[in-house]
Structure 1
Amino acid sequence: MSGLVTESTSGQNRAKRHISLQIVAKTATDDHWVIDVIEDGTLFLQDVHVTDPLTPDQTSTCRWYLEQYVQSSPFAGGKAREAEMHLKEYPLRLLSQLPLRRILRPHLEVAAYQLADSVLLSIEVIEDEEGRSANSIHGLLWETLEDSELWDHPSWEVVVHRSIKPCTSDAGSNPHRISPFKCGNGKSEFNVLLVVARDLTHNPSLYSDVDASVATNALLQIQKGLGETNGKIQLNVEIVRPGTLAAFREHLQRAGNGYFHLVHFDMHGRVGLRKGTASKAAFLYFSDPKSQETRPVPGHSVASILGKHNVPFAVLNSCESARASTADDANIAAQFLKHGVRGTIGMPFKIASSAAAIFLEHFYRALLLGHVSFPVAAAAGRKALRLRPIRPTRYGLQLPLRDHFVAVAYGCHGILDYPTLASTVFHTAQRLSPVPPFPPKDSPIGREFDVLRLEKLLVQNRIVYLSGVYGVGKTAFLDYAALMWKSTHFVDAAVSVNFGMQEGLSPHGFSMNILQQLCSQVKSVPAVSARSDDVNTINETIESILSKINAVVFVEGLETAPIYPIPDCLGAEWTAEIAPCLRMLLRIAKDTSRTGRCYVVFAHRRLNPHPDLEDLVGHQFRASQYNLSGLDMPDALDLSYKILQASGEDTQQWRGPPMASERHPAIGKCSLSFVRRLAAPATAQNTMAVVLLSFASGSFYIETRPTASPSGGFQSSQGTRPFVWVHPPKSHILALPVQQLLA
């Protein structure tokens, strides 16, 4: 019998009916499954034969559609429409084999006369561990049944969740609920550990790889929302740095068993052959501690670590992390359940970054702001994807994608409790306050991998020399990195001193600037007069603060400071006074015995450190250097379209990518029409726009500016006329009049 509960919506009681269906797989062959259907604990159908609604060729087409259409082939509309047709018909074909409508007809007839009532249908797909085969029932796309239009009633809400029995978790009667720790301030703590890993040997495009910051941004967005709305839950987010298996294990050990409620794996997954055998297994790709590459770790090994440290829930936005159509060990999500994890979210397909961002935002929003259970929060994320099907693709296009079923939830076998469903996010989400975006919309584009690389260097060396040509965006990049690191507790304070923006900065002003920034970010600091003229006293105070906290100090614009005396007598006094503070910062950074960790980043236009700089700070950078290069083509185009759209250009009217042009040798393969589109709005508004374009021949830095020229470059003799400065790699700077490009 179905249950009846009530919930209050806008002051009115609203009846909510709950119906539970369990689809239990009994046996499997190469081409079909034999299942039973149980309604509210009563066997309703027995020995029903179910086959995959898709043929192998159709499955291949749909996989291409989900994994490559938006990411790399947005103009293959014919093949995409074919896949969309298959996916649209998929749930109908599935229901034609399972007479679920016949089971639910009495409820539908009652609901037809009670439109004000909401019907909650939970569908649990169960597979017995002992009867599992390579052809798993979990290989079917059960989440496509969540579309309420299938059930001919506007108030039906459907939650699909998967389980494997027996469940090894000792969660008791309610395994789907997350129980935050109670704090003395009346709040509850929810602790999340995030593990991010990517192959850093190359820069993937925005559309060929899941954004390396998608999980971080989703969690920090919810954290910011909880803080600003004074919610009852305090979200603590910690990140494993670097994302190696050893660092992951050590982080869990330091925290202690049961400290983390959830571990989120933001890394690649793959199903492959187990070494030395013909059987398939799933792997997660952690960072390699000795290189910029990743290394595969068997899913069952990671599951064992989670079980050992009593982690109850896990999220994997890894491709193929829940692929259930190959072999027993190929489904990482199922492996986690076998080792005691109570709930897991995995991806049987590669998911686009934009889709992952939508799903994760609404999943965590429902879980932490809506206070719903794990599988219901997953259904909320899928519903958000269903309601927001438009995905950004290359060349500024926006395309619909039917991918709402890609994220699947596995959990312990058990009926969802009524209170869980009664507080479902489908109603509560409408009453939640809007969550502010993170990171800010003006954050740099295409720098997520650069942040990971810089993090890895800092963890290994603590002192890094960051280089980058004029206009590449070093300051914006470091501001973005500081925001990320403070929000995820990598550092407690981030200090930035930019000599290029603070002309005439004295040694006293340099030290005082650092101290003032530290004091504004640290609650308790040693007493010192803000007007103190004693540089030594200021430096001692800085050292005292840095010995107790984790901090990063950015020293930028040194190319404008007088540290390179020409002749030797010029700048000698200035460098002699500033050197003690710089050397003190480096001494603290190198001292691993201190409680606090200090990281120092020197940012400079020069590719290699000047010998005078190394003499000044008393440090040889050698292996701790990182060059911030120009953006790759897809990210550069994305930035370009962003600039154009902000200037009023309707890029949706464009019918394809910019065509190559050889009309001007300085631009090479850059489309002249594209440069015209870029230059016109920028110069019309008399604003500066920077676009970094990468081609086969190298990187071009194109910027429109109303006055002056890049430092050390060709000086225009035509006053304030706007020019487009084209910086070919390893060559001189060419100044092209905008009027020539717009002609």
Structure 2
Amino acid sequence: MAKNCLRIAHQGETIQLSWQRGQASPRFADTVTFEHPFDQQALTDLRWYLEKYLRFPYGLAPDKAAKIEQRLQTWGEQLFELVFRSSEKAREFFQAATYDGLHNCELVITSDDPTVLNLPWELLYSTSDRQFLAPTLAGMSRSLSEYAVRAEMSPLPQDKLNILLVIARPYGEKDIALKTIARPLLDSVSQIRQKVNIKVLRPPSFEEFERELNRNKGFYHIVHFDGHGDFDANSQGFHHTLGGLGQGVLVFEALDGSPQIVTAAQIAQNLADCGVPIFVLNACKSAQEGEAKFSSVATRLVSLGAKGVVAMAYNVQAEAAKHFMGRLYGEFVAGASLSNAVAAGRKAVLNQPQRPSPKGDKPLRDWLVPVLYQQEPYTPFLPKNNIDVPDIDDLLVETSHVTSLHGFPEEGAYGFIGRDYDILRLERGFRQNNIVLLQGMGGVGKTELACGFARWLEETQGRAGKIFFVSFEHGATLSNVVNQVGREVWGDKFSPLSTDKQRLAVLKYLQTQPCLLIWDNFEPVNGFPTGNEPLLNGEERNELKQFLKELRAGKTWVLITSRREETWLDCGYTLLNLGGLWEQDVEELAAKILQTAGVDRAKLPKEYLELLKLLGGHPLSLRVVLPHLKTQTPAQLIEALRRGLDTFKGVEEEGRDKSLTVSLDYSFAKLSEQARRHLPFLALFSERVDAHWLYQFSESPDKEYGQAYRAVFGENLQKADWLKILNQAAAAGIVEYLLSETIYKIHPALPWYLRQQLNTMVSLRVERSGTKQSHDTEQSGDCFASLAMTDTTSLTMTDEEVINELEKKLLIFYAYLADKYREKLISNAKLATFVLRVEEPNLLQNLRLAEQQQEWAYAQAILQALGDVYHRP
């Protein structure tokens, strides 16, 4: 704990500096007029630098950031001049503090004015010492002139540091990512877990918060709130009992996941009643004061008796949070005071400034983000025997961990990345139902999420029982499930039991114990795609079905992953659909992929972010496409993906990731002959396709569109044919249902794969043109052989000419479609706008084709239609 203290006391329009050496009486300098040293633009620039710069470090952003970094010192000098050079006494006090060692001195800012408390005091910069003060001081905190006096708290347990972690994300994707605080916190304390007890509040509701604290009065040292905070000008809190001019609020999460707004006063009352001294707060706006006194969460909590509140003045980067939290809690465990622990955490952030960005790791001066509010010095944890913990470094020893995970596959090359909101969606799903089906396209990351969710539950004590993983990809049965659980629970005693007794024993165990079963790749069990032979017979499927029904009333959770819904189970599961990764998670995965591929992200242009967006957050697409940035530009890859060119076709390269190709090959081979023949036409489409337009283009052999289609695919199709084909593809996870009954979503990497299929089909057509068509068809038995029966008028054309002719006809088709629905914008605006918006990706793709081929009339038709839609209100 620091020996000395410098205090800046603000009142009205003045400030007064005081100096206290040790236990001596404080000495005071003269009051001086306090003029706000920061204008609004300066504060806006600072927030941009800390919160937004590294999200898009391209163009003019690096130069702007560099200028702001230079101004950090200028702002700090202005603040320093105001405080420490405003009078001779002020100069004397700072010199005395420097002489005794700033590492032995704490700096306290006292005020009741939110504007003053909200200033970035951490930027104080000494020109004589040429350093920012905050990282050098023993501690730095903010306090209030007036606050509630509470009875002294009862002694807390000293065997472990007890932390209640509240993770609330009621706003879904609008909330900060789970990894921003929760995961860094867990990672950072992993090496001192023998001295730290972390409990995650489940569910993160205010009612459960009250119950947990009241059940464990005098137990928790810290409540760590990882969620959203704000200022409520009308004080419309959870019960709105306080009235007043407004105050800070925190947003908890109701049982159904909806927001639950709670005033800081209510939270403070619970902390005081249950003897919790410290509140750690990383909520958005948590340290940003409102206009009224004591309005923010941090000041409100301190004003009502909390010993201390650690808050974030700005949105914190996950990497910075990891460094700060790790050091903060490590210092607590070692017996440091609250102020000293925060100072140590700030130094850890300062000493490790590299933060992730799309251009690679970049330095960021974000050590000023953590702030401390406290009214008096406080040490939350004193180890029973200091001989056992002589130094913080002695605590950083990994302890052996007995896992509760059984049968799990190894993590992939890049580990588990992202899926924060999906993990919380799963938790919410299991609050309502103990059976959840996770459905998503092939390769989207269902298995990775299931395993990541299991590890998250293990790390946070979300399941007290064991966690089991079984893959059904190759036809596992109920006996596999029963044997895995039984042998793990009872060991050698399980095998001698009869089959019926084994099943009953496992069923009873799972009904009474809070376990988790993961049934992965479940789609082949009942035949996949639909119409294919099931891997399990009827009796085996019924056994699984009955087993699930018997588990419904029990304590075990069951997570099933599949590329489709499994309605035949008839067990009333909760369905969760899985899409791509979030933007920041995509960048994190991309960084690892490019590092492995030897690509320097710092040298990539801003089109790199456009490429990531185009890939739609699909992990397998990222893994297949991004390594090609070693030899091609992002713009080239964007064009290749959009046009379905042959960019990725060629001789197999050593170490090339073939996972997407393998996944698509598997699904493609399971489709009907008709589907395998006609799906390659989708190579010419982008993002989505409407079966209605596929039919309009391909249905008539008497029209030029139908003739061009028949020349390549050997036959014309009706709408029912296309719906059948697309439904097969959707069941196989190759496309997704999107809108109405005819519109489907195309995975961004799918056109590349289908283009290869299309090229193969056309090549076979030419190769077989000189042979007897019937003989070829009869002997080969595949969908390509019948292409020898296509119109002989096209056989004199090269492969490229045949495909180019088809593309040209599709361009004409879309130009006429655009013109037709542009006219309908007058007579039926709703329908026309819908059609043009849905077809926008295909219109844009054909617009690029028209420009390349200098077909300006067609380009004009498409441009005019899109322009009219874009300008509509």
TM-score range, shorter chain: 0.7 to 0.9
Q: CA distance change for structure 1 residues 168 and 679 in 2, over 3 Å: closer, same or farther?
A: farther
Question: Which residue of 462, 466, 470 corresponds with 2:442?
Answer: 470
1:83 aligns with 2:33: no
Residue correspondence of structure 1 range 187-586 to structure 2 within 5 A: 188-201=159-172, 203=173, 210-227=176-193, 231=194, 233=195, 235-253=196-214, 255-274=215-234, 279-290=245-256, 292-324=257-289, 326-368=291-333, 370-393=334-357, 395-414=358-377, 428=391, 433=396, 442-501=414-473, 503-517=474-488, 519=489, 529-532=493-496, 534-561=498-525, 571-586=537-552
Q: CA distance change for structure 1 residues 241 and 144 in 2, over 3 Å: closer, same or farther?
A: same
Q: CA distance change for structure 1 residues 380 and 444 in 2, over 3 Å: closer, same or farther?
A: same
Whether contact under 8 Å (1:20, 1:415) holds in the other structure is no
Question: Which residue of 553, 557, 576 corresponds with 1:626?
Answer: 576
Residue 289 (structure 1) shift: 3.7
Q: CA distance change for structure 1 residues 545 and 171 in 2, over 3 Å: closer, same or farther?
A: farther
Same amino acid, percent of matched pairs: 21
Rounded to whole Å, the distance in 1 between the matches of 2:165 and 2:581 is: 26
The equivalent residue for 2:629 is none
Residue 81 (structure 1) shift: 3.1
Whether contact under 8 Å (1:366, 1:380) holds in the other structure is yes
Q: CA distance change for structure 1 residues 44 and 572 in 2, over 3 Å: closer, same or farther?
A: same
Q: CA distance change for structure 1 residues 660 and 107 in 2, over 3 Å: closer, same or farther?
A: closer
Q: CA distance change for structure 1 residues 109 and 264 in 2, over 3 Å: closer, same or farther?
A: closer
Q: CA distance change for structure 1 residues 415 and 728 in 2, over 3 Å: closer, same or farther?
A: closer
Give 1 or 2: higher strand fraction: 1
The equivalent residue for 2:693 is none
1:649 aligns with 2:599: yes
Equivalent position amino acid for 2:337 in 1: S
Residue 195 (structure 1) shift: 1.0
Q: CA distance change for structure 1 residues 43 and 272 in 2, over 3 Å: closer, same or farther?
A: same
Residue 447 (structure 1) shift: 0.1
Rounded to whole Å, the distance in 2 between the matches of 1:540 and 1:531 is: 14
RMSD between aligned alpha carbons?
A: 4.4
Rounded to whole Å, the distance in 2 between the matches of 1:604 and 1:90 is: 56
Question: Which residue of 541, 558, 574 corresponds with 1:600?
Answer: 558
Equivalent position amino acid for 1:551 in 2: C
1:126 aligns with 2:105: no
1:143 aligns with 2:127: no
The equivalent residue for 1:35 is 16
Whether contact under 8 Å (1:469, 1:605) holds in the other structure is yes
Cα deviation 1:656-709 (Å, max 9, x = unaligned)? 232769xx999999954369899799963434366xxxxxxxxxxxx3559944
The equivalent residue for 1:14 is none
Q: CA distance change for structure 1 residues 529 and 312 in 2, over 3 Å: closer, same or farther?
A: same
Residue 430 (structure 1) shift: 5.9
Residue 268 (structure 1) shift: 1.3
The equivalent residue for 1:164 is 144
- Return 5+ residue gaps in structure 2 as ranges: 85-89, 237-242, 402-409, 626-632, 642-646, 678-682, 688-733, 737-743, 760-873
3-state SS of 2:598 partner: coil
Q: Greater relative contact order: 1 or 2 (C-alpha under 8 angstroms, separation 6 or more)?
A: 1
Equivalent position amino acid for 1:92 in 2: E
Residue 217 (structure 1) shift: 2.0
The equivalent residue for 1:68 is 52
Rounded to whole Å, the distance in 1 between the matches of 2:503 and 2:151 is: 53
Cα deviation 1:138-183 (Å, max 9, x = unaligned)? 22222234999546999954421222355646586xx9xx97625x
Rounded to whole Å, the distance in 1 between the matches of 2:556 and 2:285 is: 39
Cα deviation 1:182-207 (Å, max 9, x = unaligned)? 5xxxxx12221111112454x35xxx
Rounded to whole Å, the distance in 2 between the matches of 1:94 and 1:550 is: 57
Q: CA distance change for structure 1 residues 310 and 534 in 2, over 3 Å: closer, same or farther?
A: same
Equivalent position amino acid for 1:27 in 2: Q
- Return 5+ residue gaps in structure 1 as ranges: 6-17, 112-117, 183-187, 520-524, 589-596, 691-702, 718-722
3-state SS of 2:436 partner: strand
Residue 486 (structure 1) shift: 1.4
Whether contact under 8 Å (1:161, 1:410) holds in the other structure is yes
**Could you state the TM-score of these two structures normalised by the residue count of structure 2?**
0.64
3-state SS of 1:493 partner: coil
3-state SS of 2:608 partner: coil
3-state SS of 1:191 partner: strand
Rounded to whole Å, the distance in 1 between the matches of 2:221 and 2:187 is: 18
Equivalent position amino acid for 1:536 in 2: D
Rounded to whole Å, the distance in 2 between the matches of 1:347 and 1:215 is: 11
Rounded to whole Å, the distance in 2 between the matches of 1:638 and 1:108 is: 43
Whether contact under 8 Å (2:307, 2:375) holds in the other structure is yes
Residue 28 (structure 1) shift: 1.9
Cα deviation 1:8-67 (Å, max 9, x = unaligned)? xxxxxxxxxx551232425123xxx32231222321413133333212221222222222
Rounded to whole Å, the distance in 2 between the matches of 1:146 and 1:681 is: 60
Rounded to whole Å, the distance in 2 between the matches of 1:569 and 1:278 is: 66
Residue 579 (structure 1) shift: 4.3
Whether contact under 8 Å (2:430, 2:557) holds in the other structure is yes
Q: CA distance change for structure 1 residues 278 and 216 in 2, over 3 Å: closer, same or farther?
A: closer
The equivalent residue for 1:94 is 79
Equivalent position amino acid for 2:200 in 1: I
1:22 aligns with 2:6: yes
3-state SS of 1:413 partner: coil
Q: CA distance change for structure 1 residues 704 and 199 in 2, over 3 Å: closer, same or farther?
A: farther
Rounded to whole Å, the distance in 1 between the matches of 2:43 and 2:165 is: 32
Equivalent position amino acid for 2:566 in 1: P
Equivalent position amino acid for 1:673 in 2: L
The equivalent residue for 1:105 is 95
Whether contact under 8 Å (2:525, 2:534) holds in the other structure is no
Residue 258 (structure 1) shift: 1.9
Rounded to whole Å, the distance in 2 between the matches of 1:58 and 1:489 is: 44
Residue 577 (structure 1) shift: 4.1
**Could you state the TM-score of these two structures normalised by the residue count of structure 1?**
0.74
Residue 580 (structure 1) shift: 4.5
Equivalent position amino acid for 1:258 in 2: G
Whether contact under 8 Å (2:228, 2:283) holds in the other structure is yes
3-state SS of 1:561 partner: helix
Rounded to whole Å, the distance in 1 between the matches of 2:557 and 2:138 is: 50
3-state SS of 1:98 partner: helix
Give 1 or 2: higher helix fraction: 2
Whether contact under 8 Å (1:497, 1:514) holds in the other structure is no
Structure (1 or 2) with the larger CA radius of gyration: 2
Q: CA distance change for structure 1 residues 539 and 224 in 2, over 3 Å: closer, same or farther?
A: farther
3-state SS of 2:144 partner: strand
3-state SS of 2:493 partner: coil
Equivalent position amino acid for 1:609 in 2: E
Q: CA distance change for structure 1 residues 706 and 308 in 2, over 3 Å: closer, same or farther?
A: closer
Whether contact under 8 Å (1:689, 1:705) holds in the other structure is yes
Rounded to whole Å, the distance in 2 between the matches of 1:63 and 1:211 is: 19
The equivalent residue for 2:566 is 609
Residue 134 (structure 1) shift: 4.7
